[in-house]
Chain A
Protein backbone atom coordinates (compact mmCIF):
# COMPACT_ATOMS: atom_id res chain seq x y z
CA UNK A 1 0.00 0.00 0.00
CA UNK A 2 2.50 2.58 1.12
CA UNK A 3 5.11 1.42 -1.37
CA UNK A 4 2.55 1.85 -4.15
CA UNK A 5 1.85 5.36 -3.02
CA UNK A 6 5.52 6.26 -2.91
CA UNK A 7 6.00 4.80 -6.38
CA UNK A 8 3.12 6.87 -7.74
CA UNK A 9 4.57 9.96 -6.12
CA UNK A 10 8.03 9.54 -7.53
CA UNK A 11 6.64 8.98 -11.00
CA UNK A 12 4.69 12.23 -10.97
CA UNK A 13 6.82 14.59 -8.88
CA UNK A 14 10.39 15.73 -9.41
CA UNK A 15 12.82 13.85 -7.22
CA UNK A 16 13.95 17.02 -5.45
CA UNK A 17 10.40 17.61 -4.28
CA UNK A 18 10.15 14.14 -2.80
CA UNK A 19 13.42 14.51 -0.98
CA UNK A 20 12.51 17.87 0.55
CA UNK A 21 8.85 17.13 1.07
CA UNK A 22 9.19 17.28 4.84
CA UNK A 23 10.99 20.61 4.77
CA UNK A 24 8.41 22.09 2.41
CA UNK A 25 5.58 20.84 4.57
CA UNK A 26 7.13 22.46 7.61
CA UNK A 27 7.39 25.80 5.82
CA UNK A 28 3.70 26.01 4.95
CA UNK A 29 2.39 27.32 8.26
CA UNK A 30 5.13 29.96 8.83
CA UNK A 31 4.68 31.26 5.29
CA UNK A 32 0.92 31.52 5.71
CA UNK A 33 1.39 33.42 8.98
CA UNK A 34 3.85 35.77 7.28
CA UNK A 35 1.36 36.40 4.46
CA UNK A 36 -1.55 37.09 6.81
CA UNK A 37 0.69 39.36 8.87
CA UNK A 38 1.71 41.46 5.88
CA UNK A 39 -1.89 41.56 4.65
CA UNK A 40 -3.29 42.71 7.99
CA UNK A 41 -0.74 45.54 8.10
CA UNK A 42 -1.24 46.55 4.46
CA UNK A 43 -5.01 46.80 4.96
CA UNK A 44 -4.39 49.10 7.92
CA UNK A 45 -6.25 46.85 10.35
CA UNK A 46 -3.58 47.30 13.03
CA UNK A 47 -1.48 50.35 13.82
CA UNK A 48 2.23 49.89 13.01
CA UNK A 49 3.10 50.72 16.61
CA UNK A 50 1.21 47.62 17.74
CA UNK A 51 2.22 45.36 14.87
CA UNK A 52 4.72 46.64 12.33
CA UNK A 53 4.61 44.93 8.90
CA UNK A 54 7.24 42.27 8.13
CA UNK A 55 9.16 44.55 5.81
CA UNK A 56 9.48 47.16 8.58
CA UNK A 57 10.96 44.45 10.80
CA UNK A 58 13.45 43.70 8.07
CA UNK A 59 14.32 47.39 7.81
CA UNK A 60 14.81 47.54 11.56
CA UNK A 61 17.10 44.53 11.29
CA UNK A 62 19.30 46.18 8.67
CA UNK A 63 19.34 49.31 10.78
CA UNK A 64 20.50 47.42 13.88
CA UNK A 65 23.12 45.29 12.16
CA UNK A 66 25.96 47.24 13.70
CA UNK A 67 24.76 46.79 17.28
CA UNK A 68 23.74 43.17 17.03
CA UNK A 69 27.06 41.26 17.08
CA UNK A 70 28.23 42.91 20.29
CA UNK A 71 24.85 42.44 21.95
CA UNK A 72 24.65 38.81 20.89
CA UNK A 73 28.11 38.17 22.28
CA UNK A 74 27.21 39.70 25.63
CA UNK A 75 23.96 37.79 25.87
CA UNK A 76 25.61 34.53 24.79
CA UNK A 77 28.33 34.89 27.38
CA UNK A 78 25.84 35.54 30.17
CA UNK A 79 23.46 32.77 29.17
CA UNK A 80 26.09 30.12 28.46
CA UNK A 81 28.17 30.89 31.54
CA UNK A 82 25.07 30.84 33.71
CA UNK A 83 23.81 27.66 32.07
CA UNK A 84 27.12 25.83 32.45
CA UNK A 85 27.72 26.90 36.04
CA UNK A 86 24.11 26.21 37.02
CA UNK A 87 23.98 22.82 35.32
CA UNK A 88 27.24 21.77 36.95
CA UNK A 89 26.11 22.92 40.39
CA UNK A 90 22.70 21.28 40.05
CA UNK A 91 24.21 18.01 38.85
CA UNK A 92 26.78 18.03 41.64
CA UNK A 93 24.13 18.79 44.26
CA UNK A 94 21.91 16.00 42.98
CA UNK A 95 24.77 13.51 43.00
CA UNK A 96 26.03 14.53 46.41
CA UNK A 97 22.54 14.36 47.90
CA UNK A 98 22.06 10.88 46.49
CA UNK A 99 25.52 9.79 47.63
CA UNK A 100 25.40 10.75 51.24
CA UNK A 101 22.58 10.82 53.71
CA UNK A 102 24.41 13.53 55.64
CA UNK A 103 24.53 15.78 52.58
CA UNK A 104 20.87 15.10 51.95
CA UNK A 105 19.99 16.09 55.50
CA UNK A 106 22.09 19.22 55.24
CA UNK A 107 21.13 20.50 51.81
CA UNK A 108 17.82 18.79 51.23
CA UNK A 109 15.85 21.27 53.27
CA UNK A 110 17.40 24.28 51.56
CA UNK A 111 16.80 22.66 48.22
CA UNK A 112 13.17 21.87 48.92
CA UNK A 113 12.76 25.41 50.19
CA UNK A 114 14.30 27.03 47.13
CA UNK A 115 12.64 24.83 44.53
CA UNK A 116 9.21 26.48 44.49
CA UNK A 117 10.56 30.05 44.87
CA UNK A 118 10.03 31.97 41.63
CA UNK A 119 13.55 32.86 40.56
CA UNK A 120 12.40 36.15 39.05
CA UNK A 121 11.33 37.31 42.48
CA UNK A 122 14.96 37.21 43.50
CA UNK A 123 16.09 39.74 40.88
CA UNK A 124 15.99 42.76 43.21
CA UNK A 125 17.97 40.85 45.82
CA UNK A 126 20.54 39.74 43.28
CA UNK A 127 20.97 43.34 42.13
CA UNK A 128 21.41 44.37 45.71
CA UNK A 129 23.97 41.70 46.44
CA UNK A 130 25.95 41.58 43.22
CA UNK A 131 25.47 45.10 41.88
CA UNK A 132 24.67 45.97 38.32
CA UNK A 133 26.39 44.15 35.47
CA UNK A 134 27.20 40.60 34.55
CA UNK A 135 27.59 38.91 37.96
CA UNK A 136 23.94 39.17 39.06
CA UNK A 137 22.78 38.13 35.61
CA UNK A 138 25.01 35.08 35.53
CA UNK A 139 24.00 34.25 39.10
CA UNK A 140 20.32 34.41 38.22
CA UNK A 141 20.69 32.16 35.18
CA UNK A 142 22.85 29.72 37.17
CA UNK A 143 20.41 29.48 39.97
CA UNK A 144 17.49 28.75 37.69
CA UNK A 145 19.43 26.01 35.91
CA UNK A 146 20.83 24.55 39.14
CA UNK A 147 17.38 24.01 40.63
CA UNK A 148 16.10 22.27 37.50
CA UNK A 149 19.13 19.99 37.28
CA UNK A 150 19.31 19.29 41.00
CA UNK A 151 15.75 18.06 41.21
CA UNK A 152 15.99 15.95 38.05
CA UNK A 153 19.31 14.42 39.05
CA UNK A 154 18.20 13.21 42.45
CA UNK A 155 14.95 11.98 40.89
CA UNK A 156 16.81 10.05 38.18
CA UNK A 157 19.16 8.47 40.70
CA UNK A 158 16.25 7.36 42.82
CA UNK A 159 14.89 5.42 39.83
CA UNK A 160 17.99 3.39 39.00
CA UNK A 161 17.12 -0.33 38.90
CA UNK A 162 18.98 -1.89 41.82
CA UNK A 163 20.00 -4.83 39.65
CA UNK A 164 22.71 -2.72 37.97
CA UNK A 165 24.12 -1.70 41.33
CA UNK A 166 24.05 -5.25 42.63
CA UNK A 167 25.74 -6.49 39.46
CA UNK A 168 28.41 -3.79 39.75
CA UNK A 169 29.10 -4.67 43.37
CA UNK A 170 29.49 -8.39 42.72
CA UNK A 171 31.87 -7.58 39.86
CA UNK A 172 34.16 -5.79 42.27
CA UNK A 173 33.08 -2.14 42.02
CA UNK A 174 33.45 -0.01 45.11
CA UNK A 175 31.02 2.76 46.03
CA UNK A 176 32.83 5.41 44.03
CA UNK A 177 33.18 3.00 41.13
CA UNK A 178 29.42 2.42 41.14
CA UNK A 179 28.92 6.17 40.88
CA UNK A 180 31.30 6.60 38.01
CA UNK A 181 30.38 3.51 36.02
CA UNK A 182 26.73 2.84 36.83
CA UNK A 183 24.91 5.84 38.21
CA UNK A 184 26.26 8.59 35.97
CA UNK A 185 25.92 6.69 32.68
CA UNK A 186 22.47 5.47 33.69
CA UNK A 187 21.04 8.86 34.66
CA UNK A 188 22.45 10.75 31.69
CA UNK A 189 19.63 10.04 29.21
CA UNK A 190 17.13 10.82 31.94
CA UNK A 191 18.73 14.22 32.40
CA UNK A 192 18.57 15.22 28.77
CA UNK A 193 15.07 16.60 29.19
CA UNK A 194 16.18 18.58 32.23
CA UNK A 195 19.24 19.91 30.42
CA UNK A 196 17.14 21.08 27.49
CA UNK A 197 14.64 22.64 29.86
CA UNK A 198 17.47 24.38 31.70
CA UNK A 199 18.88 25.67 28.40
CA UNK A 200 15.51 27.03 27.36
CA UNK A 201 14.99 28.62 30.79
CA UNK A 202 18.46 30.13 30.62
CA UNK A 203 17.37 32.40 27.75
CA UNK A 204 14.28 33.52 29.62
CA UNK A 205 16.27 34.19 32.78
CA UNK A 206 18.80 36.14 30.75
CA UNK A 207 16.13 38.37 29.25
CA UNK A 208 14.69 39.07 32.69
CA UNK A 209 18.13 39.75 34.12
CA UNK A 210 19.01 42.12 31.32
CA UNK A 211 15.71 43.97 31.72
CA UNK A 212 16.68 44.82 35.26
CA UNK A 213 19.99 46.49 34.90
CA UNK A 214 22.12 45.72 31.92
CA UNK A 215 24.00 48.21 29.80
CA UNK A 216 24.55 45.89 26.86
CA UNK A 217 23.17 42.68 25.44
CA UNK A 218 20.01 41.77 23.59
CA UNK A 219 17.68 42.21 26.55
CA UNK A 220 19.02 45.68 27.12
CA UNK A 221 18.44 46.49 23.43
CA UNK A 222 14.83 45.34 23.77
CA UNK A 223 14.29 47.82 26.62
CA UNK A 224 15.94 50.50 24.49
CA UNK A 225 13.59 49.78 21.59
CA UNK A 226 10.68 49.93 23.96
CA UNK A 227 11.70 53.35 25.24
CA UNK A 228 11.88 54.75 21.69
CA UNK A 229 8.67 52.94 20.68
CA UNK A 230 10.48 50.98 17.97
CA UNK A 231 8.21 47.95 17.91
CA UNK A 232 9.88 46.55 14.78
CA UNK A 233 13.19 46.52 16.64
CA UNK A 234 11.66 44.44 19.43
CA UNK A 235 10.51 41.92 16.83
CA UNK A 236 14.04 41.71 15.46
CA UNK A 237 15.50 41.05 18.89
CA UNK A 238 12.86 38.46 19.73
CA UNK A 239 13.72 36.64 16.49
CA UNK A 240 17.41 36.76 17.36
CA UNK A 241 16.65 35.22 20.75
CA UNK A 242 14.58 32.54 19.02
CA UNK A 243 17.35 31.68 16.61
CA UNK A 244 19.98 31.51 19.36
CA UNK A 245 17.79 29.34 21.54
CA UNK A 246 16.95 26.99 18.66
CA UNK A 247 20.59 26.64 17.59
CA UNK A 248 21.55 25.90 21.18
CA UNK A 249 18.78 23.33 21.53
CA UNK A 250 19.79 21.61 18.29
CA UNK A 251 23.38 21.47 19.47
CA UNK A 252 22.33 19.85 22.75
CA UNK A 253 20.12 17.40 20.86
CA UNK A 254 23.12 16.45 18.69
CA UNK A 255 25.29 15.77 21.71
CA UNK A 256 22.41 13.90 23.30
CA UNK A 257 22.04 11.60 20.34
CA UNK A 258 25.68 10.68 20.51
CA UNK A 259 25.86 10.15 24.26
CA UNK A 260 22.62 8.20 24.50
CA UNK A 261 23.08 5.98 21.47
CA UNK A 262 22.71 2.95 23.75
CA UNK A 263 19.09 3.71 24.58
CA UNK A 264 16.12 2.53 22.60
CA UNK A 265 14.59 5.92 21.96
CA UNK A 266 16.91 6.84 19.14
CA UNK A 267 14.62 6.94 16.15
CA UNK A 268 13.50 10.41 15.15
CA UNK A 269 9.83 9.45 14.98
CA UNK A 270 9.75 8.04 18.46
CA UNK A 271 8.07 4.99 19.86
CA UNK A 272 4.52 6.32 19.74
CA UNK A 273 4.69 7.12 16.04
CA UNK A 274 6.20 3.74 15.30
CA UNK A 275 3.23 2.04 16.94
CA UNK A 276 0.39 4.32 15.95
CA UNK A 277 1.81 5.23 12.57
CA UNK A 278 2.86 8.63 11.33
CA UNK A 279 1.09 9.10 8.03
Chain B
Protein backbone atom coordinates (compact mmCIF):
# COMPACT_ATOMS: atom_id res chain seq x y z
CA UNK B 1 0.00 0.00 0.00
CA UNK B 2 1.47 3.28 -1.11
CA UNK B 3 1.08 6.27 1.10
CA UNK B 4 1.07 9.62 -0.59
CA UNK B 5 1.77 12.94 1.03
CA UNK B 6 -1.13 15.25 0.15
CA UNK B 7 -3.79 14.32 -2.42
CA UNK B 8 -2.99 16.80 -5.14
CA UNK B 9 -0.32 19.25 -6.14
CA UNK B 10 -2.67 21.53 -8.10
CA UNK B 11 -4.43 24.07 -5.89
CA UNK B 12 -7.99 22.75 -5.80
CA UNK B 13 -10.91 25.13 -6.23
CA UNK B 14 -13.30 25.54 -3.30
CA UNK B 15 -16.75 24.49 -4.54
CA UNK B 16 -18.79 24.63 -1.34
CA UNK B 17 -18.20 27.25 1.26
CA UNK B 18 -20.19 27.12 4.46
CA UNK B 19 -19.75 29.89 6.94
CA UNK B 20 -21.07 30.85 10.32
CA UNK B 21 -24.04 28.50 10.04
CA UNK B 22 -26.67 28.55 12.73
CA UNK B 23 -29.59 26.17 12.80
CA UNK B 24 -32.06 25.00 15.40
CA UNK B 25 -35.17 22.88 15.16
CA UNK B 26 -38.23 24.75 16.25
CA UNK B 27 -38.94 28.46 15.96
CA UNK B 28 -35.91 30.73 15.98
CA UNK B 29 -35.22 32.41 19.30
CA UNK B 30 -37.53 30.10 21.22
CA UNK B 31 -34.77 29.19 23.60
CA UNK B 32 -34.05 25.93 21.80
CA UNK B 33 -30.39 25.07 21.81
CA UNK B 34 -29.13 25.24 18.23
CA UNK B 35 -27.82 22.10 16.55
CA UNK B 36 -25.34 24.15 14.59
CA UNK B 37 -23.81 27.42 15.64
CA UNK B 38 -20.96 29.28 14.02
CA UNK B 39 -20.24 26.29 11.86
CA UNK B 40 -17.72 26.58 9.00
CA UNK B 41 -16.70 24.08 6.35
CA UNK B 42 -15.16 24.17 2.91
CA UNK B 43 -15.32 21.46 0.28
CA UNK B 44 -13.04 21.37 -2.73
CA UNK B 45 -14.10 20.50 -6.22
CA UNK B 46 -14.02 16.79 -7.10
CA UNK B 47 -13.35 15.93 -3.51
CA UNK B 48 -15.01 13.02 -1.75
CA UNK B 49 -15.43 14.32 1.76
CA UNK B 50 -16.75 12.24 4.62
CA UNK B 51 -18.29 13.66 7.73
CA UNK B 52 -18.26 11.38 10.76
CA UNK B 53 -19.59 12.01 14.19
CA UNK B 54 -21.83 10.66 16.90
CA UNK B 55 -25.52 10.43 16.21
CA UNK B 56 -27.35 13.65 16.86
CA UNK B 57 -24.31 15.81 16.23
CA UNK B 58 -25.98 17.54 13.34
CA UNK B 59 -24.19 15.94 10.39
CA UNK B 60 -27.40 14.89 8.68
CA UNK B 61 -28.90 18.29 9.44
CA UNK B 62 -25.91 19.90 7.79
CA UNK B 63 -26.46 17.80 4.68
CA UNK B 64 -30.14 18.71 4.51
CA UNK B 65 -29.17 22.37 4.78
CA UNK B 66 -26.74 22.07 1.89
CA UNK B 67 -29.48 20.27 -0.07
CA UNK B 68 -31.79 23.21 0.56
CA UNK B 69 -34.31 21.09 2.45
CA UNK B 70 -33.85 23.04 5.67
CA UNK B 71 -33.66 26.78 6.22
CA UNK B 72 -30.85 28.14 8.33
CA UNK B 73 -31.34 30.72 11.06
CA UNK B 74 -28.11 32.45 10.09
CA UNK B 75 -25.03 31.96 7.96
CA UNK B 76 -24.50 31.10 4.32
CA UNK B 77 -24.02 28.10 2.08
CA UNK B 78 -22.23 29.13 -1.08
CA UNK B 79 -21.99 26.70 -3.95
CA UNK B 80 -19.73 27.92 -6.71
CA UNK B 81 -19.91 31.37 -5.16
CA UNK B 82 -23.70 31.59 -5.23
CA UNK B 83 -26.02 31.18 -2.28
CA UNK B 84 -28.40 28.22 -2.50
CA UNK B 85 -31.44 28.11 -0.27
CA UNK B 86 -33.82 26.00 -2.39
CA UNK B 87 -33.39 22.34 -3.25
CA UNK B 88 -32.24 21.64 -6.77
CA UNK B 89 -30.81 18.91 -8.98
CA UNK B 90 -27.38 20.51 -8.81
CA UNK B 91 -27.20 18.99 -5.31
CA UNK B 92 -28.68 15.51 -5.64
CA UNK B 93 -29.10 13.60 -2.40
CA UNK B 94 -29.07 9.93 -1.47
CA UNK B 95 -30.83 9.10 1.78
CA UNK B 96 -30.47 6.38 4.36
CA UNK B 97 -34.15 5.56 4.07
CA UNK B 98 -35.45 3.81 1.01
CA UNK B 99 -36.34 6.76 -1.19
CA UNK B 100 -36.82 4.89 -4.45
CA UNK B 101 -40.34 5.59 -5.74
CA UNK B 102 -42.17 2.25 -5.43
CA UNK B 103 -44.73 3.20 -8.09
CA UNK B 104 -42.08 3.63 -10.78
CA UNK B 105 -40.08 0.94 -12.51
CA UNK B 106 -36.32 0.93 -12.04
CA UNK B 107 -35.73 2.88 -15.22
CA UNK B 108 -38.58 5.31 -14.60
CA UNK B 109 -36.99 6.01 -11.22
CA UNK B 110 -33.64 6.78 -12.78
CA UNK B 111 -35.39 8.93 -15.38
CA UNK B 112 -37.25 10.92 -12.74
CA UNK B 113 -34.89 13.87 -12.41
CA UNK B 114 -34.41 14.00 -16.17
CA UNK B 115 -38.16 14.09 -16.65
CA UNK B 116 -38.34 17.00 -14.21
CA UNK B 117 -35.75 18.78 -16.34
CA UNK B 118 -38.01 18.32 -19.35
CA UNK B 119 -35.65 16.09 -21.29
CA UNK B 120 -37.09 14.16 -24.24
CA UNK B 121 -38.08 10.54 -23.88
CA UNK B 122 -35.23 9.32 -26.08
CA UNK B 123 -32.72 11.40 -24.17
CA UNK B 124 -34.04 10.10 -20.83
CA UNK B 125 -33.81 6.53 -21.99
CA UNK B 126 -30.27 6.98 -23.16
CA UNK B 127 -29.01 8.63 -19.99
CA UNK B 128 -30.93 6.26 -17.69
CA UNK B 129 -29.52 3.21 -19.46
CA UNK B 130 -26.04 4.63 -19.15
CA UNK B 131 -26.35 5.02 -15.38
CA UNK B 132 -28.15 1.71 -14.94
CA UNK B 133 -25.21 0.06 -16.65
CA UNK B 134 -22.85 1.97 -14.38
CA UNK B 135 -24.49 0.57 -11.23
CA UNK B 136 -25.05 -2.87 -12.76
CA UNK B 137 -28.85 -2.82 -12.99
CA UNK B 138 -29.34 -2.75 -16.73
CA UNK B 139 -31.06 -6.15 -16.73
CA UNK B 140 -33.76 -5.24 -14.24
CA UNK B 141 -34.83 -1.92 -15.72
CA UNK B 142 -38.47 -2.92 -16.07
CA UNK B 143 -38.96 -4.27 -12.51
CA UNK B 144 -40.73 -2.47 -9.71
CA UNK B 145 -38.71 -1.68 -6.56
CA UNK B 146 -40.68 -4.21 -4.50
CA UNK B 147 -39.14 -6.90 -6.68
CA UNK B 148 -35.60 -5.83 -5.76
CA UNK B 149 -33.40 -6.44 -2.73
CA UNK B 150 -32.44 -3.61 -0.41
CA UNK B 151 -28.98 -3.38 -1.94
CA UNK B 152 -30.38 -3.20 -5.46
CA UNK B 153 -32.81 -0.48 -4.44
CA UNK B 154 -29.85 1.49 -3.10
CA UNK B 155 -28.18 1.14 -6.48
CA UNK B 156 -31.30 2.53 -8.12
CA UNK B 157 -31.08 5.43 -5.72
CA UNK B 158 -27.44 6.05 -6.61
CA UNK B 159 -28.16 5.84 -10.33
CA UNK B 160 -31.15 8.16 -10.00
CA UNK B 161 -29.17 10.80 -8.15
CA UNK B 162 -26.23 10.62 -10.54
CA UNK B 163 -28.39 10.65 -13.67
CA UNK B 164 -29.37 14.27 -13.08
CA UNK B 165 -25.63 15.02 -13.43
CA UNK B 166 -25.45 17.08 -10.27
CA UNK B 167 -22.61 19.35 -9.35
CA UNK B 168 -22.55 17.87 -5.87
CA UNK B 169 -23.65 14.52 -4.55
CA UNK B 170 -24.92 14.46 -0.97
CA UNK B 171 -25.02 11.07 0.74
CA UNK B 172 -26.73 10.75 4.10
CA UNK B 173 -25.59 7.42 5.58
CA UNK B 174 -26.73 5.74 2.37
CA UNK B 175 -25.50 2.26 3.23
CA UNK B 176 -26.21 2.25 6.97
CA UNK B 177 -29.34 0.10 6.72
CA UNK B 178 -27.68 -2.65 4.68
CA UNK B 179 -26.03 -5.86 5.87
CA UNK B 180 -22.23 -5.88 6.04
CA UNK B 181 -21.64 -7.90 2.88
CA UNK B 182 -23.95 -5.79 0.74
CA UNK B 183 -22.57 -2.66 2.30
CA UNK B 184 -18.97 -3.49 1.45
CA UNK B 185 -19.89 -4.42 -2.10
CA UNK B 186 -21.84 -1.21 -2.55
CA UNK B 187 -18.96 0.83 -1.15
CA UNK B 188 -16.61 -0.69 -3.73
CA UNK B 189 -19.10 -0.18 -6.54
CA UNK B 190 -19.77 3.34 -5.43
CA UNK B 191 -16.05 4.09 -5.53
CA UNK B 192 -15.98 2.72 -9.08
CA UNK B 193 -18.86 4.91 -10.19
CA UNK B 194 -17.49 7.92 -8.38
CA UNK B 195 -14.07 7.49 -9.98
CA UNK B 196 -15.68 7.72 -13.41
CA UNK B 197 -17.56 10.91 -12.68
CA UNK B 198 -15.22 12.64 -10.22
CA UNK B 199 -18.20 14.32 -8.61
CA UNK B 200 -17.80 16.47 -5.58
CA UNK B 201 -19.43 14.39 -2.86
CA UNK B 202 -20.21 14.78 0.80
CA UNK B 203 -20.68 11.47 2.52
CA UNK B 204 -22.20 11.51 5.99
CA UNK B 205 -21.67 8.37 8.06
CA UNK B 206 -21.16 7.23 11.62
CA UNK B 207 -18.84 4.50 10.44
CA UNK B 208 -15.19 5.64 10.59
CA UNK B 209 -13.98 2.70 8.54
CA UNK B 210 -16.44 3.50 5.76
CA UNK B 211 -15.37 7.12 5.82
CA UNK B 212 -11.66 6.30 5.59
CA UNK B 213 -12.17 3.68 2.93
CA UNK B 214 -14.13 5.97 0.62
CA UNK B 215 -12.92 9.50 1.02
CA UNK B 216 -10.16 11.92 0.21
CA UNK B 217 -10.77 13.79 3.41
CA UNK B 218 -12.50 12.97 6.65
CA UNK B 219 -14.02 15.57 8.91
CA UNK B 220 -14.79 14.44 12.44
CA UNK B 221 -17.58 16.30 14.19
CA UNK B 222 -18.53 16.46 17.83
CA UNK B 223 -21.85 17.49 19.20
CA UNK B 224 -23.23 20.19 21.50
CA UNK B 225 -22.34 22.32 19.74
CA UNK B 226 -21.46 20.77 16.41
CA UNK B 227 -17.90 21.57 15.51
CA UNK B 228 -15.10 20.06 13.49
CA UNK B 229 -12.68 18.42 15.89
CA UNK B 230 -10.47 16.86 13.27
CA UNK B 231 -9.90 17.35 9.57
CA UNK B 232 -7.74 14.62 8.03
CA UNK B 233 -6.53 14.16 4.47
CA UNK B 234 -6.82 10.44 3.78
CA UNK B 235 -3.43 9.38 2.50
CA UNK B 236 -4.35 6.18 0.64
CA UNK B 237 -3.98 6.03 -3.13
CA UNK B 238 -6.78 5.14 -5.52
CA UNK B 239 -8.07 2.80 -6.82
CA UNK B 240 -8.68 1.18 -3.46
CA UNK B 241 -9.69 -2.39 -2.85
CA UNK B 242 -10.71 -4.63 0.04
CA UNK B 243 -7.14 -5.22 1.18
CA UNK B 244 -6.86 -1.58 2.23
CA UNK B 245 -9.13 -2.18 5.18
CA UNK B 246 -6.78 -4.71 6.75
CA UNK B 247 -3.58 -2.77 6.09
CA UNK B 248 -1.69 -1.49 9.07
CA UNK B 249 -1.73 2.17 8.03
CA UNK B 250 -5.50 2.04 7.62
CA UNK B 251 -6.06 0.44 10.98
CA UNK B 252 -3.68 2.83 12.70
CA UNK B 253 -5.38 5.89 11.29
CA UNK B 254 -8.79 4.51 12.15
CA UNK B 255 -7.72 3.73 15.68
CA UNK B 256 -6.25 7.17 16.14
CA UNK B 257 -9.39 8.92 14.93
CA UNK B 258 -11.64 6.68 16.98
CA UNK B 259 -9.60 7.39 20.06
CA UNK B 260 -9.79 11.09 19.52
CA UNK B 261 -13.50 10.95 18.88
CA UNK B 262 -14.07 9.03 22.12
CA UNK B 263 -11.95 11.50 24.00
CA UNK B 264 -13.57 14.58 22.54
CA UNK B 265 -17.11 13.46 22.87
CA UNK B 266 -16.62 11.60 26.11
CA UNK B 267 -19.02 9.10 24.72
CA UNK B 268 -17.81 5.54 24.34
CA UNK B 269 -20.84 4.44 22.42
CA UNK B 270 -20.60 7.35 20.04
CA UNK B 271 -18.78 5.52 17.33
CA UNK B 272 -20.06 2.09 16.58
CA UNK B 273 -18.01 -0.84 15.39
CA UNK B 274 -14.66 0.88 15.71
Contact = CB atoms under 8 A, between A and B. Distances in A.
Contacts of A186: 103
Nearest to A188: B103
Given A166-B95, A169-B69, A182 B101 contact: yes
A182 B116 CA distance: 12
B103 A167 contact: no
Interface in A64-103: none
A262 B143 CA distance: 9
A163 B144 contact: no
A1 to B, nearest CB: 29
> Which of A168, A171, A263 is most buried by chain B, counting CB atoms within 10 A of its CB?
A171
A164 interface: yes
A164 B101 CA distance: 7
Contacts of B115: 181
A200 interface: no
Nearest to A167: B99
B88 A166 contact: no
Interface in B108-133: 112-113, 115-117
B150 interface: no
A262 B144 contact: yes
Contact of B164 (A163, A172, A177, A261): A172
Given A170-B69, A170-B89, A181 B99 contact: no
B92 interface: yes
B69 A166 contact: yes
Contacts of A264: 146
B183 to A, nearest CB: 20
Interface string B153-191: 000000011001000001000000000000000000000
A182 B108 CA distance: 13
Given A164-B99, A181-B115, A262-B102, A171 B92 contact: yes
Contact of A166 (B99, B101, B160, B161): B99
Q: Chain A: interface secondary structure? A: helix
B93 interface: yes
A262 B161 contact: no
Contact of A170 (B92, B98, B101, B103): B92
A263 B144 CA distance: 9
Contacts of A261: 144
A148 B108 CA distance: 32
B102 A171 contact: no
Given A166-B69, A166-B95, A177-B116, A171 B146 contact: no
A172 B99 contact: no
> Which of A173, A177, A264 is most buried by chain B, counting CB atoms within 10 A of its CB?
A173
Interface in B68-103: 68-69, 87-89, 91-93, 95, 97-99, 101-103
Contacts of B116: 168, 171-174, 177, 181
A185 interface: yes
Interface string B47-77: 0000000000000000000011100000000
Contacts of B254: none
B89 A172 contact: yes
Interface in A16-38: none
B93 A170 contact: yes
Contacts of B98: 163
A177 B117 CA distance: 10
> Which of B98, B101, B144, B145 is most buried by chain A, counting CB atoms within 10 A of its CB?
B101
28 contacts: A163-B95, A163-B97, A163-B99, A164-B101, A166-B99, A167-B93, A167-B95, A168-B112, A168-B116, A169-B69, A169-B87, A170-B68, A170-B92, A170-B93, A170-B161, A170-B170, A171-B113, A171-B161, A171-B164, A172-B88, A172-B164, A173-B116, A181-B112, A182-B101, A185-B103, A262-B104, A262-B146, A263-B102
Given A167-B99, A170-B87, A170-B161, 12 more contacts: A161-B97, A166-B93, A167-B101, A170-B89, A170-B93, A170-B170, A171-B161, A185-B104, A262-B102, A262-B104, A262-B144, A262-B145
Interface of B: 67-69, 87-89, 91-93, 95, 97-99, 101-104, 112-113, 115-117, 144-146, 160-161, 164, 170
**Ordered nearest first, which 3 A-B pairs have the shortest CB separation?**
A172-B89, A171-B113, A167-B99
